A and B are shown apart, each in its own frame.
Chain A
């Protein structure tokens, strides 16, 4: 088997008395969706921020695509092919859907320090943006202002922007957040197909979606990974049932 695309070794992060990440080790392999679950306050967001570069770990390393990226910035990791979606939609709301997607293409492949030629006349960037929009069925809204989109459409646009980077890895922070049952049902096949583009590290609260999508699951509780395994293994794990699923199952 090839080396994992993303691997996190012994990552720890402390905020005062709170041990937000406690010696976390996990990896994401080609072609898989690796779900990260855990109760509120388990440290999922802190972990994601360390993987993406917004937070520096106290100890431990993040390796991405065969390189130690621990000292690299968010933008540098993104240029290496780390495509991220946010828990709360993070888009240029005054811009059109197409402009948001073109921004992604520009960051991933273009040179932003060009001052004269209209960016929307750059056929290569626009083609890349439209292709990504088409993948999430958003091309029909290309000229719509992002602020006028519904919540679900913004979630889809988040994914499209990440796609424009043609990333080697997706890191998705609760892509289903606030979507409701039917929205989740619509997005599930889209995410499932994406794993063939690039593996996904998926943080998600919706357990039905996680069990439907994930190849492997890691369970984070109080900053510690208490179990990693296939869906069946996690369902059967006594510690997980007690710490997390117990209340539901």
Chain B
């Protein structure tokens, strides 16, 4: 086993052990913190496919996070009001079922990623960053000015959605759901990196002319990678909304896009567990330093600066030091 694989195993063990300990010790707040980490890590796992594997610096992944959140909010709000979502041309009822909401979140964020990717992947570099950012802002202001689902105030959901056979209001059970989804996404992400598609996406990042010259259109590879990436981040959005039982336009804000990117860079771009470590550090710091000072972002900024200057492989890269494990 490579050193990075050991580090990854330790990360999984800690992320599982801490909330289990908190459950025994009856500290639900810690469980909620761990759940936040798992969900935000999931959002980062999504971005890492676009950013790490595909080299697409998207500053608009909040779009997918927000769409996942609103997919949950809209479906659940109709279910709690007993009003149908739409009656024509066919009837769609609201739902409180998590698996159905997840499917809706995956589908809608995938469609959004297809559209945004189709338009923005014609550009590259700083133009791509700006276009993805602009799409994020469009969605942000749209939800702010859309009164049907709470507008600027957001949309509260009174009871957490249900998962067959589990009590989702029990923090540890909801944590385990999120942890399992994160595990599945990591497994998928690992398989993707080794798959034919992963080889092509990774090569497109490094040398698109080469990929084209062997008969693979780089645009299609990037677009599919962007869609997969957006779908995973969208799923995280649905879980995040369920954790808070609340959705608001903040999920679409460019700060959200920036934070997801910080998770990835802090943990290690293109490292499988980079977003998990990044989100864990971010949330832990937010919790610890947030109590000391409202301006805790200064310390985060300093840490990020150190990582970018001295540890390009992020914290995981630093810990596995010179030994870069093969993907």
Contact = CB atoms under 8 A, between A and B. Distances in A.
Interface residues of B, number: 26
Nearest to B199: A119
Contact of B207 (A90, A102, A113, A122): A90
A73 interface: yes
Interface in A52-97: 52, 73-76, 78-79, 84, 86, 90-95
B221 to A, nearest CB: 7
A247 B103 CA distance: 71
Interface stretch (B188-196, B237-245, B307-315): B188-196
Contact of B215 (A107, A117, A120, A122): A107
A28 B197 CA distance: 34
B195 A116 contact: yes
B141 to A, nearest CB: 35
Contacts of A84: 213
B210 A115 contact: no
A118 interface: yes
Contact of A95 (B188, B202, B209): B202
B196 A92 contact: no
Given A108-B215, A165-B215, A114 B197 contact: yes
Interface in B178-235: 188, 191-192, 194-200, 202-203, 206-207, 209-217, 221, 224, 228
A91 B204 CA distance: 10
Given A84-B213, A104-B214, A112-B199, 20 more contacts: A74-B212, A75-B215, A75-B216, A76-B215, A78-B215, A86-B213, A90-B210, A95-B206, A103-B210, A103-B211, A106-B214, A107-B211, A110-B196, A112-B197, A112-B221, A113-B196, A116-B192, A117-B195, A119-B196, A125-B196
21 contacts: A73-B212, A78-B212, A79-B215, A84-B213, A90-B210, A91-B210, A92-B210, A93-B207, A106-B196, A106-B200, A107-B200, A107-B215, A107-B216, A110-B196, A111-B196, A112-B196, A114-B197, A115-B192, A117-B196, A118-B194, A118-B195
Interface of B: 188, 191-192, 194-200, 202-203, 206-207, 209-217, 221, 224, 228
